[in-house]
Chain A
């Protein structure tokens, strides 16, 4: 088990190294420069700035320096905010993003499981069709559309929640709702399919033949088996939350990583773009590792590093 985890961690580091390298050279290949916006700078001033950020060094040297920094956890210095290390910017911004992401993931998954469960139990009935329609809408309409609708009804018309900005919990409600639509719809569709299949399986027949009541059948025998594979879609959900946050944070003016990322792209702030990319990549790879380990813990059929392997 320990060896398995170690091996996975090494793979994870290799993946991150590749992503760091790719994003580094992609940035180098991009047209434009962080200094474009500041056309007022004289040639001399530009040289000073380029020198300061080490941009006059040959690319391989820059690359080695960048990697050396990475190993120490140093993502470089932002071009846009003078003298602010990228790490500090990200640390500063991660709070709101993490809070929104976690809220959206938890609430979305719970609601999605409920929707999917109801759909499966009332298979082919009215409630099934209703929840399927909700799920299809949720997966096919982009979340910024919901963001606009939510802002219109709950902020502008009903005035229950603030339209935008970051403050207390009330500020998180609308962006969380917009963000959670996708995980909710994904979970609902997934759970419905799994649950319908599980409820038709032979071991459910065995349980019925034992005289177990419907509630026990659905929750003890059905839901557990239908939920285990749900872990596998948490990865894609997490990705949708990370990318979704870029748009949603922009719309709701939330000082999170997503909003920062968009601004960095607009300003050609390469170190921050790369830092954010790496952070997203690291989070994603970590989530996948955690999912695999969790799966092994929850599903008795999968024994990672068991007796023989």
Chain B
């Protein structure tokens, strides 16, 4: 499998009145052609900032890429000018945002919003672009596309709008589709439909997907691999099986443990105490240590490196050091893991 995207030691800071907010602090990951990588983590962990950096859409004066490379098909996107990025955005890499109610232009016909990218990137005539737009609407499951194409966003429901947003993102057959919590704003049945749609589309188009969410249930459903982010870093990374059956980082245990399941009449949820650190002054050592009941002394002093567990599985916790005490996940999380093993990840 060849790497489509490789992010190396990415660091992004925001310059604010209060000082420098270190939103992303040295992130490394890659996405292979055609696979789905899920990025999970609490609010504020830096998921959206990471994807904005890939898109070249970080807010202009405040944000700064302090270091790192974003290699897309071998070319470093960090070095590209805004003009060059415009050619890539919407063509090779496109994006689906969280809130479908506000991510479409209210005064532009839906068809025109889809056609815009086609005309710009593929040089289609308006007639050709219109034809393609009808096909796209059909592909994302919107009935009567020839009629719908001439309507405005307010004439669509939330789920339908997200389908339109997906159609816009798919218009130019991107190699990479970034979906930043595409289902969070939708109700549960619609969520499931949109996820199905995205899986279908991936089968048809073979584009790679970065899927951002804080819902692990969704992850099990769509992802091939998972990156768990905490306080601007990736703390654990592995295949879906690695993460669900053999999680190693206490933060991942916390995420799994706090995941509601169908038969949660059982024991108490293993919730993560406390709140994420202030990225204005990131803590010394392991950022998760203050919330981690398994924290070792070294956690407060020195940041853990990435330990390799297998070919695909990595985690940044001192618990994996050869001299560390052997600690098992909490019983409730273990039970959860066994449950996943039985149901194949479906919570």
Which A residues fall within an 8 A CB radius of B? 201-203, 205-214, 220-221, 224-225, 228, 299-301
Is B91 part of the contact surface with A, judged by Cβ < 8 Å? yes
Q: List 6 A-B contacts (CB under 8 A).
A: A206-B168, A209-B89, A210-B90, A212-B90, A213-B86, A301-B106
- In whole angstroms, what is the CA distance A209 to B120 when docked? 13
Among B86, B102, B120, the residue within 8 A (CB) of A202 is B102
Q: Check A208 against B89 for contact (C-beta < 8 Å).
A: yes
The CA-CA distance from A210 to B94 in the complex, in Å, is 7
Dominant secondary structure at the A interface? helix
The answer to whether A211 and B165 touch across the interface, beta carbons within 8 angstroms, is no
Give the shortest distance, in Å, between B72 (CB) and chain A (any CB): 14
Given A206-B103, A212-B86, A225-B107; A301-B152 close (CB under 8 Å): yes
Interface residues as binary, B226-260 with A (CB distance below 8 Å gives 1, 0 otherwise): 00000000000000000000000000000000000
B211: CB under 8 A from chain A? no
Is there an interface contact between A206 and B105, defined as CB atoms closer than 8 Å? yes
B104: which of A206, A212, A220, A224 is its contact (CB, 8 Å)? A206
Q: Is the CB of B168 within 8 A of A210?
A: yes
Binary A-proximity of B86-112 (CB < 8 A = 1, otherwise 0): 111111001101010011111110000
B341 CB within 8 Å of chain A: no
Contact present for B103 and A203 (CB under 8 Å): yes
Residues in B with CB closer than 8 Å to A205 are: 57, 97, 103
User: What is the bound-complex CA distance between A208 and B85, given in angstroms?
Assistant: 10
Residues of B within 8 A of A (CB): 55, 57, 82-83, 85-91, 94-95, 97, 99, 102-108, 113, 116-117, 120-121, 152, 154, 165, 168-169
Would A225 and B57 count as touching, CB distance under 8 A?
no
Residues of A within 8 A of B95 (CB): 206, 209
State whether A203 touches B102 (Cβ < 8 A): yes
A201 to B108, CA, bound (A): 15
Task: Tell which of B83, B90, B108 touches A209, judged by Cβ atoms closer than 8 Å.
Answer: B90
**Contact indicator A208/B57 (Cβ below 8 Å):** yes
Complex Cα gap A219–B113 (Å): 14
Name which residue of chain B comes closest to A301, CB basis. Answer: B154
Contact indicator B120/A207 (Cβ below 8 Å): no
- Tell me if B97 and A202 are in contact (CB < 8 A): yes
Measured between alpha carbons, how far is A210 from B166 in the docked complex, in Å?
A: 12
User: Are the C-beta atoms of B87 and A207 separated by less than 8 Å?
Assistant: no
A-side contacts of B102, CB under 8 Å: 201-203
With most chain A CB atoms within 10 A of its CB, the pick from B83, B107, B120, B169 is B107
Among A202, A208, A211, A214, the one with the most B-chain Cβ atoms within 10 Å of its Cβ is: A211
User: B residues within 8 A CB of A214?
Assistant: 82
Report B125 CB to chain A, min CB distance, Å. 18
Task: Report whether A228 and B107 are in contact in the complex, using a CB–CB cutoff of 8 Å.
Answer: yes
- Closest residue of chain A to B155 (Cβ to Cβ) is A300
Q: Do B88 and A211 touch (CB < 8 A)?
A: yes
Bound together, the chains give a CA A203 to CA B107 distance in angstroms of: 11
* 3 pairs of A and B residues whose beta carbons are closest in the complex: A211-B90, A210-B90, A211-B89
Q: Nearest chain A CB to B210's CB is how many angstroms away?
A: 13
Tell me, in angstroms, the Cα distance from A202 to B87 when the chains sit together.
20
Given A206-B97, A208-B89, A209-B90; 20 other pairs, CB 8 A cutoff: A202-B97, A202-B102, A202-B103, A203-B103, A205-B97, A206-B168, A209-B57, A210-B168, A211-B90, A211-B117, A211-B120, A212-B90, A212-B116, A212-B117, A214-B82, A220-B108, A224-B107, A224-B108, A300-B107, A301-B107
- Indicate if the CB atoms of A211 and B87 lie closer than 8 Å: yes
Q: A241 vs B184: C-alpha distance in the bound complex, in angstroms?
A: 50
